[in-house]
Amino acid sequence: MTEKANKAAYVFNAAISACCIITTGLALNPDGQSRYAGGEEDALILVGQRKPTSFDIAQLAGVSQPTVSRALRGSPSVSAATRARIEAIAKTLNYTVDRAASNLRSGQTRTLALLLFRDPSPGQTLINPFFLGMLGSIMESCAEVGYDLLVSFQNGESDWQAEYEDSHRADGLILLGYGDYADYRELLEQLVARGTHFVRWGSVAPGQPGLTIGCDNHAGALAATRHLVAQGRKRIAFLGDATDHYPEFHDRYRGYRDALAEADLVCDPGLQVGAISSEEEGERAARQLLARGHAFDGIMAASDLIALAAMRVLAEAGLRVPGDVSVVGFDDIPAASFAHPPLTTVVQDAAAAGRLLVRALLAEIAGKPRTAMLLPATLVVRGSSVRP
């Protein structure tokens, strides 16, 4: 039987199973056999219970079914002309790829899991607003490469490998936030030992388990504290944890301390009050700073949430910002620019961070070489720090 006859027989069988077929490309040869012209203008629109398949598209396009599969997932092995013809036919047939079947064949879910960790604060749990700002970029980056994003809130007690990769819910993990790093590091080491594909946002330092992307926290705090010194401030406090339990805050504390040292200013331990990133913690730290009775004329806060809460406490205490005390934060969350006065802060590029996290994780899943990345931090000067 000739190739044309095979095609005609296929079309006839399709007509029987579909109940009704509308065709623009079939005709009868003089010998009475069906003639098939080919091309998207001859696509069959199947009406009834039967859904079109990739085999329908292959028959109409005059290619193999594997070629259709490769074309519809954007494989570069298919020529642009062939891909365009296949896509046009698929559109005519209202054909959509069966993602579940495709994923089953490839062994991948085409899904990434974003795990957000809640920072504990008195009486409640809190998602850092900076991470929420990063979410849009991560979602957009996933969509650009044809991946879905699964978002989950975590407390660090789950078996992430079993819950996501072993159960085929996701191909890899993006980790945001962590709480106490001493506990978190153990979890990271377990993921590495089990071969989990993951990337995290955090402090970049030698010897850390897994792949990390982060901001240059030291340089950001160094620039912020230099700015306070340039405003004539000499007794500058630091509000934020300054231990290895919170490495990003510790890096910011080191930047603050180094800026004081280069200006020959004293780094007074009495002007450092520990706090994690929450407004409740910021309020507590500011009240504790005032209660100590040490004179201060500037505050370098380890996060915007801490800084904004400290500004309110200072106002309640009758201290003017920036007249009496200059205040600088870190993160540039949306509320920073709407504060009164607007908060001077260090910007972390959330959009770039989201894109890099997705790209790095996909490279990890593909087994490609990858290294830790450090993004620059930028000081944005607003009304909270400039002396009148």
Nearest to 277 by CA among 153, 95, 131, 381: 131
How open is the CA angle 354-350-212, to the nearest 5 degrees? Answer: 55
CB 277 within 8 A of CB 246: no
**Distance between CA 142 and CA 248 in Å, rounded?**
26
**Per-residue pLDDT, 156:** 60
Is the pTM value of this prediction over 0.95? no
Q: In percent, how much of the chain has pLDDT > 90?
A: 47
Strand, coil or helix: 121: strand
CB 372 within 8 A of CB 220: no
**Per-residue pLDDT, 380:** 97
pLDDT at 76 over 80: no
Beta bridge partners of 200: 175, 212
What pLDDT band is residue 16 in, cutting at 50, 70 and 90? Answer: very low
Widest distance between CA atoms in the chain: 105
For the chain, the average pLDDT equals: 82
Structure tokens at 339: 């504060």
CB 219 within 8 A of CB 204: no
For 229-250, letters b (16+ CB in 10 Å) and e give bebebeebbbbbbbeebbbbbb
CB 39 within 8 A of CB 85: yes
Most confident by average pLDDT, 55-64, 222-231, 347-356: 222-231
Nearest to 301 by CA among 323, 332, 263: 332
Structure tokens at 121: 């604060």
**Per-residue pLDDT, 27:** 36
pLDDT at 101 over 70: no
Helices vs strands, H then E, count in the chain: 13, 18
pLDDT at 254 over 70: yes
pLDDT in tens, 17-49: 333 333 333 333 333 333 334 444 444 444 344
**Distance between CA 388 and CA 370 in Å, rounded?**
48
Concatenated DSSP letters of 282-320: HHHHHHHHHHHT---SEEEESSHHHHHHHHHHHHHTT--
Strand, coil or helix: 346: strand
